[in-house]
Amino acid sequence: MEDIQVLVCDDSALMRNLIGRIIDETCGMAVCAKAENGEDLLEKLNTVKPDVILLDIEMPKMNGVEFLKKRKERNIKVPVIILSSVATEGAAVTMECLSLGASDFITKPGASSVTLKIGDVSKDIIEYVAAYGGAYAAVSGKKVYDADFFAHQIKLKQAEKAVLAKKGEDAAKAASITANDVLPTTWFQQKPKEAVVIKPEREGGKIDIIAIGISTGGPNALRDVFKAIDPNLKQPILVVQHMPAGFTKEFAASLDAICPLTVTEAVDGEPILDGHVYIAPGGYHMFVEHRPLGNFIKLSQDAPRNGHRPSCDVLFESVAKIFMNHSLGVIMTGMGRDGAAELAEMRKKGAWTLGQDKESSIVYGMPKVGFELGGVQKQVPLANMAEEISKLAKEHLIA
């Protein structure tokens, strides 16, 4: 197996070294170069061939936005993951970066706490490098480990941190696990499972609501879906995209700019309107509450589910309970299994369901588990997802 090659670009030497250590100490990936700014990065690309670039935004000489414009001009195909600050300004610029072709983003800790908090984002770094870098490497003809191999390492690292915390040692010491901790000989790829066959309790009825759950690879996948969605679609759409607090309002605004429907960040207690898209706020679960006067958005900060808040399972669970066979559930690209169990529950209740197919998923995790549990009626390529959602919504608008 070959390593996923990573180029780290950040004007902070400390950040370059800390991120570089996480990558180099993860079996299956390696740092091929480091750059101080966009100009240095363009220079490095003349001599190295990374599979993915981790890019800071605020840098001297040439910042991240300027580099992305140059990348587009020069038709550089290497995927870019933004290293973003959590500030409101950072959120707005991050969404601009996505519109310029960046694949996704990771929030990095502030300068004052970087050495203590870098371990907290190591999971995201490994996951996103594995997803985007792995996909690009595979397309380039390399043989690299799949996302499950890196997910296995993340679990071991989290277990190591938990043990150190119980011993009273500094959790920051567990920022990375070494390649010696997880050798290829200890990894056994699970065989594909036969999909469970679910016999719904009732036939599919009219579609009154659409619920979408999505994670890694989601920002650009949702851009593709919502810019092509039917402008005459009548049903409301509720979306859980795994995204940190502070970014979902700007993300909703960026989708609203390209979507023929109105897209907003969901607000607790607001009525659910037809033809409106609601994005779950980062840090909050989103679910539906039925009242005599209609259906309303509810938000909560209950404990994370499947490691996530917002959780796709929380949304799907409420839709299954309230709407049963009068709903459409969609599970898309993402690592892990969030949303899979409750999508299967939606299917049991008679809901219509779709899952993104393996070939078009950045990470075929959530949709794979959803399919294996019998929750997916039909697997759909990303390029056809908007058309398929629109078609089902139109066909089943009335009873």
Using one digit for the tens of pLDDT, what is the confidence trace for 297-341?
Answer: 999 999 999 999 999 999 999 999 999 999 999 999 999 999 999
**Interacting residues of 17 by C-beta distance below 8 A, sequence separation 6+:** none
Distance of CA 94 to the CA centre of its chain: 15
Q: Is the peptide bond between 381 and the residue preceding it cis, with omega within 30 degrees of 0?
A: no
7: nearest Cα among 48, 67, 60: 48
Q: Count Cβ atoms within 10 A of the Cβ of residue 206 and give its class: 0-12 exposed, 13-18 middle, 19 or more buried.
A: middle
Pairwise pLDDT comparison (323 vs 162), residue with the higher score: 323
User: Which residue in the list 215, 311, 318, 360 is annotated as catalytic?
Assistant: 215
Pairwise pLDDT comparison (152 vs 141), residue with the higher score: 141
* Token representation of residue 369: 């588990």
Taking only the tens place, the pLDDT of each residue in 271-309 is 999 999 999 999 999 999 999 999 999 999 999 999 999
304: nearest Cα among 278, 283, 318: 283
**Interacting residues of 356 by C-beta distance below 8 A, sequence separation 6+:** 221, 331, 332, 333, 364, 367, 379, 380, 381, 382, 385
Decide the pairing of beta strands 294-300 and 327-331. Answer: unpaired
Mean pLDDT within 185-201: 74
Q: What are phi and psi of 249, to 5 degrees?
A: -65, -45
Q: What are phi and psi of 169, to 5 degrees?
A: -85, 160
DSSP assignment of 347-389, as one string?
HHTT-EEEEE-TTT-SSBSHHHHHHHTT--SEEE-HHHHHHHH
- Give the range among 36-45, 113-122, 346-355, 358-367 with minimum mean pLDDT: 113-122
Looking at residue 370, what is its pLDDT? Answer: 97
Distance of CA 2 to the CA centre of its chain: 25
Question: H-helix or E-strand containing 29?
Answer: strand 29-35
User: Which residue in the list 40, 85, 242, 360 is annotated as catalytic?
Assistant: 242
**Interacting residues of 137 by C-beta distance below 8 A, sequence separation 6+:** 2, 4, 5, 51, 144
55: nearest Cα among 69, 171, 223, 281: 69
Question: How big is the CA angle at 103 (ends 188 and 67), to the nearest 5 degrees?
Answer: 130
**Interacting residues of 181 by C-beta distance below 8 A, sequence separation 6+:** 27, 153, 156, 160
Q: In what order do the strands lie in the sheet with 52-56?
A: 29-35, 4-9, 52-56, 80-84, 104-107
Distance, CA of 347 to CA of 201 (rounded, Å)? 9
CA distances (Å), origin 49, targets 8, 53, 137, 145: 12, 10, 10, 18
* Average pLDDT in the chain: 90
Catalytic status, residue 215? yes
Biggest distance spanned by C-alpha atoms of the chain: 65
User: Which residue in the list 40, 51, 338, 357 is annotated as catalytic?
Assistant: 338
Looking at residue 116, what is its pLDDT? Answer: 46
Distance, CA of 293 to CA of 315 (rounded, Å)? 20
Kindly tell me if the per-residue pLDDT of 134 is higher than 80: yes
- Orientation angle between helical segments 312-323 and 340-348, nearest 10 degrees: 10
Looking at residue 169, what is its pLDDT? Answer: 53
Neighbours of 178 (CB within 10 A): 10
Looking at residue 271, what is its pLDDT? Answer: 98
- Is residue 34 within 8 A of residue 2, CB to CB? The reply is no
